[in-house]
Each structure stands twice: as structure tokens, then as C-alpha cells.
Amino acid sequence: MKNVRGVGTGQPLVPALIIMGDSVVDAGNNNHRTIFIKANFPPYGRDFFAHNSTGRFSNGKLVIDFTAESLGFTSYPVAYLSQDANGTNLLTGANFASGASGFDDGTSLLYNAITLNQQLKNYKEYKIKVTNMVGRDRANEIFSGAIYLLSTGSSDFLQSYYINPILNRIFTPDRYSDRLMNFYSTFVQNLYNLGARRIGVTTLPPLGCLPAAITMFGGAGNNTCVERLNRDAVSFNTKLNNTSMYLTNKLPGLKLVVLDIYNPLLSMVMNPVANGFFESRRACCGTGTMETSFLCNARSVGTCSNATNYVFWDGFHPSEAANRVLAASLLVQGISLIS
């Protein structure tokens, strides 16, 4: 459990932070699994505390790390599968996310990631541990006051739907999004039934602007965002907003906020200089076109020396500098979850 330097030691604004989702928010759970999608080796984490490769898919902090700091926590939610996930460390929350998981458990199973359903099961186990520590009343205050953040969906498209001829024969992108909405809706209702009342869910990013997506789907020599993928993301995000509104109306006392990362990230990609960046097409790691996980390693040739100029750290994931910008935007959008 890492203490955050330079952060106040007062009470945090909410009692706990619970994280679920995929590699954008995984803080090291995949380190403890037999899985190809990992980030617990250099150059991952080279700008993190003590240059530590914790399993975060970035050169430094994730959006959720900045979020934890802004909310006044003195440590980050601990990766639930790590040896740190015990005792009082659990009282301020936990991170259940797993790189390569999706709304669709089928996506997660392709890569042996922790499915969203299994993340929920792990959360149930977590609740029992916390309740045993502090008693039912205090525990329920923690669970209902906590902020729950869900960030997933990119893997469903980029690592499943678009590359699976069977899926894209059966479903149009629109119908596939509807299918994911069913999973999302069930997930939120299950989380609500387990006591969650403040839930933030991130939209899809501009899928077509991720360097790996440009390489995979953009055609030879193309260096611009793949419009078709961005259209699918926009359509998905509209459904996410509508479904979330429906759930808010249906479930009494639920605060459910959709957090837009599509537009802030698109803005950084389209106008890097205005956002304080120099490079938004190529990622920092290796050739900057494709490398992610084991392909982004200490021997990757061409890795940039200063990632603060880059929007993307690897083929799929933003740099710490971009995560800082995204976190600031999400904090403003999610203010109703805090109050």
C-alpha cells in the first residue's frame, strides 16, 4: 500500500474508493494471474514512486490514482489480489480491476482476465472481511458512502468484437453495444443490491485514435484516427448515457454518473499542443504504433526518454501526463458523487 506524498492527512471526502474494470484502472491484479496481459516490468512504472512497475498500464499514475489524491486519500485502493489486501488497508477501498476484462465475460475469458462477475464475487468477499473488522453498522456506512468507479468496454471492441469474425457476423456494432448494455445494466443492479449508492462509469475513449487501433484498423500508411471506430464509440456512449438514466430512475437513492473520457482524450489527440503535449499519434513505448504489455519491455527499441510530451504511453494506454488531465476533467464531472 503506497502512501501518497504531499497529500493532506485530513479525512477523505468519501469513506472508500472501489475500482472495477479493465487495464485502464488495473493497479496490479493481473500480476497474480496466468495471463498474457501484464505490466509488472520496466519500462512500465518508470515514473511511478521508486520507479516501481506495479502492474499499472502506464509510465506512472493512473487516472484513479489522481482521483484518490484529489478525494483526500493518503493511499491508493489496494489491488485485491495482492498481499497488501488485508487488515486496515481494506477500510479505504480496494481495486478489483483486471486488464483485458470487459462488460462481456466472454471477452475476459478469451484472455484469462478477471470477469466483471468475478470482480463482483471478489467484492462480496471483500465486504465480509470489512464487516468482520468494523461491525455491520460501520461497514454499511462505508459501503453506501463509498464511490464505485467502473471503467471498461474498450477490450470488448478492440480485443474481441473487431477481431472476431463470428461476433461481427452475428452482430452489427449497434447490436453488439445493445448486448453490452444488458451486461452493464445487470452489473449496476447487482452492485446496487450489494449496497452501492454512488457509482461513476467512464465512457469509451475515442477507440479509433488509440495508436494500436490506427495500426490494426487504419490501413497501410494511415496516421489518422479510424472514424468507423470512433463512430461506434460515440454510439455506445449515447446508449450508456440512456441506460444510466433509466437505471437512475429505476433504483431509489442511486447516484449514477457517466464520466466522459471520449471528449477530453479526443481533444488531446486533435490539439496536442493546446493541451501541453507534443506527440499524440505515436505512443512513447517502442515504435509507438502497437506495443502493449509484453511487447512494451526494457528491450523495446525507440522508447521515448520523456513521456510527459506524449498523450499515449503504449499502444492502448494514456501516459501519466494525459491521465492527470483526464482525472481533472472527471473530478469536475463527478462532483455530484461526492456531495
Per the annotation, the verdict on 156 as an active-site residue is no
Q: Which of 257, 160, 76 is nearest to 85 (CA)?
A: 76
Residue indicated by cell numbers 477507440: 207
Choice among 47, 65, 156, 314 that is catalytic: 314
Per the annotation, the verdict on 84 as an active-site residue is no
**Cβ density class 173-184: b for 16+ within 10 Å, e for less:** beebbebbbebb
Per the annotation, the verdict on 314 as an active-site residue is yes
Choice among 58, 160, 317, 319 that is catalytic: 317
Cα–Cα distance, 325 to 112 (Å, whole number): 31
DSSP summary character for residue 257: E
User: Would you mind telling me the total number of residues written for the chain in this entry?
Assistant: 339
* Angle ∠(222,226,232) on CA atoms, nearest 5: 170
Where residue 179 falls (left for φ over 0; alpha for ψ -120 to 50; beta otherwise) is alpha
Point out which residues pair with 23 in neighbouring strands.
none
Choice among 23, 82, 98, 108 that is catalytic: 23
Cα–Cα distance, 93 to 143 (Å, whole number): 9
Cis peptide leading into 43, omega within 30 of 0?
A: yes
Q: Which of 252, 274, 244 is nearest to 334 (CA)?
A: 244
The catalytic residues are 23, 314, 317
